Amino acid sequence: MNPSMCAHWAQALHDPKLPVQGLRTWNGSDPQQRFAVYRNNVIASLSDALAETFPVVRACMGEAIFRSIAIDFVRTHPPVDAVLARYGQGFSAYLAACGAAEIHPCLPDLAMLEWAYVCCFHAASGQPIELEMLYAYIAEPDALGRVRLKFQPALEAVSSTYAIVSLWGAHQRGEMLSLSGLHPPESAWILREGLQTMVLRVGEADVVFLRALQAGASLAGAAEQAFAADEAFDLGRCLGALLRYRLITGVEQEGLGQ
């Protein structure tokens, strides 16, 4: 089969309006109908994958609405990864663009949290550094402007103007979900400790600090951004949490490195 025909078939799997040329069946049955069955199976499998990845969004929206939006997403966002468990990137942005936020504006952020959870669940594990190694690099106060940290691949940060962490936690406990009263903003680190993936509620400044470090900022630069977000930011407590959960895998200092 030539590449152009393969590409056409791949498009046709997600678009029922596209006819497929060159199909034949051994028993003379209608090949278009046979292909339609295969197309429906593909769409159903991918929408099932979204339902597994975003169970709290699904519960909040209701089965019928979620399935309708999931099928639309599948038809316009085919997989780019062979691993089905990693399907769903961009679903949060799609919810915001397709009008699902009209059901409740927290849903795109909630989907962002659930996607971060899946990413951490499947991420590789790195070797954490020893506490003494970090202390050796930051022993002098003026060293903070030169020190940069590396982190576990299984570490994400999310921030929302809605109480998405509380909503996610209620679903895990099997409690009744309510989209009312979700105005207090909440932020979280999503991480994996051993085989357990965790959603850890933190302050918005903690998210600012971590994101700055992950983007390559020095400890001093990241702390400056965090204090700008919240003057009550506790640098020692935040670093302590990163060490306690063994999230730091490397430390570099200008002119030295590790």
Per-residue pLDDT of the chain (258 residues; tens, 9 = 90+): 455 545 555 565 556 565 666 556 555 555 555 555 556 667 888 899 999 999 999 999 999 999 999 999 998 888 888 788 889 999 999 999 988 778 788 999 999 999 999 999 999 999 999 888 888 877 776 777 889 999 999 999 999 999 999 999 999 998 877 777 667 899 999 999 988 999 999 999 999 999 999 999 999 999 999 999 999 999 999 999 999 999 999 998 875 544
Q: Which of 55, 70, 243 is nearest to 151 (CA)?
A: 243
Query: Does pTM top 0.75 for this prediction?
Result: yes
Q: Which long-range contacts (CB under 8 A, 24 or more apart) does 251-258 make?
A: 251/129, 251/133, 251/134, 251/137, 251/147, 251/148, 251/149, 251/150, 252/147, 252/148, 252/149, 252/150, 253/137, 253/143, 253/146, 253/147, 253/148, 254/146, 255/146, 258/133, 258/137
The four Cα atoms 12, 14, 15, 16 give a dihedral, to 10 degrees, of: 80
Confidence at residue 11, expressed as pLDDT on a 0 to 100 scale? 62
Residue 159 burial (CB count, 10 A): 21
**Per-residue confidence (pLDDT) for residue 198, from 0 to 100:** 96
pLDDT on residue 15: 61
The two tokens of residue 109 are 């952020």
Distances 9 to 30, 45, 225 between C-alpha atoms, Å: 16, 17, 49
Q: Tokens at residue 141, please?
A: 């106060």
- Predicted confidence at residue 44, as pLDDT, reads 83
What confidence score (pLDDT) does residue 96 get? 92
pLDDT of residue 257: 46
Residue 193, φ and ψ in degrees, nearest 5: -115, 105
Question: CA-to-CA distance for 120 and 90, rounded, in angstroms?
Answer: 16
Side-chain half-sphere CA neighbours of 189 within 13 A: 24
Write down the domain spans for the chain.
Answer: 1-103, 111-258
193: β partners? 196
CB atoms within 10 A of CB 217: 17
Q: Which of 147, 229, 217, 129 is nearest to 185 (CA)?
A: 229
| Cβ neighbours of residue 157 closer than 8 Å, sequence gap 6 or more | 116, 187, 188, 189, 190, 202, 206, 207, 210, 211, 214
